[in-house]
Every structure is written in structure tokens, then in C-alpha cells.
Chains A and B, each alone.
Chain A
Amino acid sequence: MQYIDITNSPERFEQKLAKRLGFSRFVNANDQIIIADRAGPGAKPLLIQTTNPNLIFAMIKSPKAIGILSNGEEVEQRVLNKLKENGKLVVFNAYYLTVGQRDRVSKIHRLKKLFRMAGKSKTRMGIVSLAPNQDYLLSSAQLLEIAKLITADDHQAKLMLSNIGETLHDI
């Protein structure tokens, strides 16, 4: 079971640092994958960041799509069903929680609600750090603890981390 983290920094972090933190490697959202709200040309894997169901339905069928990136926004049930049909992920963003203390409790409640909805429709889920710099990087143990805040279950938290590794191991 390998753990992979997605970061969002202008430069790539060292892979030795990834090994120290318990990940097999880092994948950088600025060059190795794309975070976008609309489809564009290119063969890079895509993480969808929009709440518009029509845009999501158009992009989700692509084999390059990883899933949708959530910052606690409400996601419609039909979107979750579509994600499950296509085997894509709901990706939770740990940077959303670590960036500031303000409203952290309500952010966690929103993520828990999304987790419950996605869990009921049996959609696969993942969690990433999306760290913009080295101060916001997290070890795998820390990401696991943050996942437990959302899932309240050890097994589900580990599954969230390993789902990202399974999806990205070909990149």
C-alpha cells in the first residue's frame, strides 16, 4: 500500500523528503497534474474544481480525470452517483483545514457532511495536503489524523490515503 501526496507549490519538493514523511513520492499540482474547472487540451491527469454539475459530467468521463476536489462545498447527490459510476474520487483538501484557525470547526462539520453523503453513495474518497510551501507539508501520520477528524474511523482514514496512491501510481 503506497501513499502519494499532491502538493501545490511552484517548485517540486525533494523525493527524499517524501520518503521521510512516509510517502512514496509527491505529485505536484502545478506541473504533473492539472487542477481546473473546465476541460482543456493536454494529456495531464485532471483534478476537477467546480461545483457546476454540467461541467463535472462533461469532464468526469475522461480517463485522465482523477475526481473532484472539495473545499467543503455542497456536492449534489447525482454528481456523487456519477463519480461512483465512473470510479472517480472525491478528494478532500487538508490545506483547507490547516490554513487558518478561523472557522475550523465549521469547516470540519462541512467536510464530515460531505463524507457522510459520499459514504452513503459508496463513492471512493481521498485526502491530500495541497501544500503551497514546505511549512504546510504534512507527514502521512499527520494526514491520517486529519482524515480521522473527517471519518472518525481508522480504517476509512487509511483507505482515503491509499485510494490516492492507487489512482496516481501510474503517473
Chain B
Amino acid sequence: MFKYIRLETKNIAYLFPFIVILLSACSNSTDNTAVDEEILLKEWDSYKENASESEVSIFMWGGDEGINAYMDEFVSPELKEKHNITLNRVAMDTNEILQKLMNEKRANQEEGTIDIIWINGENFLNAKENDLLFGPFTEVLPNYQEYVDTESLDILYDFGTEVEGLEAPWGSVQFVFQYDSAKVSDPPKSFEELSTWVKENPGKFVYPEPSDFTGNAFLQHLLYDQIGGPDKLLENGFDEEFVTNNTDGMWEYLRDIEPFLWRDGETYPASLTELDRLYSQGEIWMTMGYNEARAESFINDGTFPESTKSFVLDSGSIGNTHFLAIPYNSPNKEGALVAINELLSPEAQMTKYDTTYWGESMGIDPEKLSNDNKEKLAAMERGGSVLPANELNEAFLPEVDTQYGGWIREKWLNEVVQTD
């Protein structure tokens, strides 16, 4: 008998963690809105004071070694030295970060683990609609006020969603195609020429499926081309009837080139990584992606052939801005503000522009820099695979409502894939 009793008490101990979990899920629902508003009313210097010796966790997509190196080798020591902040970078896909926040929101968890997230587009729309973000906070950042072109449309709108101060612009990228100049002498200038090229070189071109961000952007270019530029799409927001009625040619075009694509169009790469792998192994001769300088780091580490060059089509190239935001339940909002402000500083932005690490365009306005910095910027070499700035600027096209992305995905499946 004694033996049984001992076993039972032991088991109550086993149960303890579960009870704690159950109880903690039920409590913890205080309202923090008032505290948040108070934070935003403080003086800038008091943030710096409070942030000192604290830890700031940034959750961000970690699939690019150049970007990771920029964070770990430049930003992290910089924050430590200037503000005594310990930066803790956690690699996670943005949609999963939002899922985590969404779960925390449902469980009424007011103290989370994330202080900064890297975000834009659909993810921002979802975060905004579900009240997952803290703010509006951008107005309190000195560097935002001083260096950001606050009137610019691609900073006021993120893929058609109004930003409303909930995220601060970190950088911007433009969509370019990369090709191997050793194999392709004269890259196409329009979708028509691309189609001719694809037919002359069967199996050497493919785009990622549109569930991938890059594949979706490729199709969006085609959509713009089809209806004569993004203006009509920008005017009315998402208009399903309009695009459905005016895009037969687009799907016709895709069905027409499909038999000449990689693997005879039977399958498409599931991700940009996969497309780049095919390009680096020479299976295909062109790849593509956001960030006009993306090929540089691949050329430097030997993944892409040195003869890699880039091009944009005459009908333009889509560019977008990406942002930094603070979750509603960030445990260190003041630290996050200081860190984001530092990331928007000319120094941090110009190091990011340099191809050593990342090589993408700045989130701040180059015109607002000091003369010294302007000169430095002009002297920076972006590398042989990057198109000249004026050519990129001329080609720049804005993003439209994110719902077009979803429409493209659905429609592509019906019109291109299921017709085989």
C-alpha cells in the first residue's frame, strides 16, 4: 500500500507543469494600451537612457548570408558600442513570426519575446488588420524625421496598404533579371522578345511558381504589361472583374511559352532558392529577383558565374520598400525605438548599400544626406552586375494592392497548370 501512495505523489509532481500552463493561459490579460501611449510621449533622450544595458530581439528572415553578416558584423557591434544594447537576431520566416504573434494575441500574452520585425506587403496587411503592431511610432524617431522622404508614395503605402506610422522604411529593392552573358549575348527587352528567346532556347528559362514571392512578381510584371502599366490598378484598388476581363492575353502568353520552359513546363521551381540553384548549376540561363544588386554577393562567393549581368524590361521593373515594425507585445519597446533609429542612420544605411554585406538601396532619401555623405555615396561601386542608378530609376514601377498577388496565384493554377 505504501508503495502506491508514493507513486501517486510523484505523479502529482509530473502534473505540475501542465497545471501551471493551464493556469497561465487563463490569466495575464491586462490592458497595455495606456502604457504604450505613455511611451510615445517621452523625450527621445529618456529612451536612450532606458534602453541602455537592455536586450533587443529582432526576428527576421534569415535566408541571405549577406544580410545576416550585415546584422551580426556591423549592426550588432554598433548598437553595443553606441547605446550599450545587446542585439539578439533570430532567423524566422515572416509569416511564422506573425503566426507566433497571433497566437500570443489570442492567449492575451502582453509580454512577448519579439521587439522588432522585418516586414512588408501581405504580412504587413495581416499584421495591421489583426492589430499586431505597436504605434504609430515613426514620428518619434529623429532619423526618420531628418532623413526619410516622408511624402514619398512608396513610404506612405506598403503594397497598397497605408503605413500610418506603424513601420519605418529600412530599404528598397527593385526587380531585375540576371543572365549569364557568356551564354546570352543580347538579353530580351520586352515580353515579346523574351517569348522569342525562350522558344529559341528551349529549357533554358523558367520562373518560380507564383506561390513564391519572386514568381508572383514576375507574373505581376506581365500583368502590368498586359493592361498598359500599373496606373489603372492603382486607381481603383483591387478590382477583380477588371483584371479578369482584361488579362486573357497574359494567360495565353504563359501557356504559349510553357512547352519551351525548363522541364517542358511540367513543373516550376517552388522557391527563388531553387531557381538560383538551377541557374548556378547551368540548367537555366536566367534567374531573377528583387534587389538590383543581388547577384553581386553570389558572384563573389562563386555561386553565380562571373559573367552574370542583369537587365530590366523596357516596360519597367517593380520596386518596393521593406520596413521595420514593433510588435504590440514587445518587452522592450524603448530599446526597439533606439535600435530602429540607429538602423535608419546614414552610417548604417550606407554600409547596407555597400555590396560588402547586402548591397540594397537605402530606406532614407539620398538627397537629404550631408554633402560629405553624398560624395561618399557617389564614390561607392556597386559592382559590374548592377545596372546604373538612372536606368533603374527610369524603369521603376510601384507595387499594387497585395490582393492582386492572391488573384495571380489562384488564376495561374487554373489557367496555366491545370490545363495540361
Q: Are A and B part of the same complex?
A: no
- The interface of chain B, by Cβ under 8 A from chain A, is none
- The interface of chain A, by Cβ under 8 A from chain B, is none
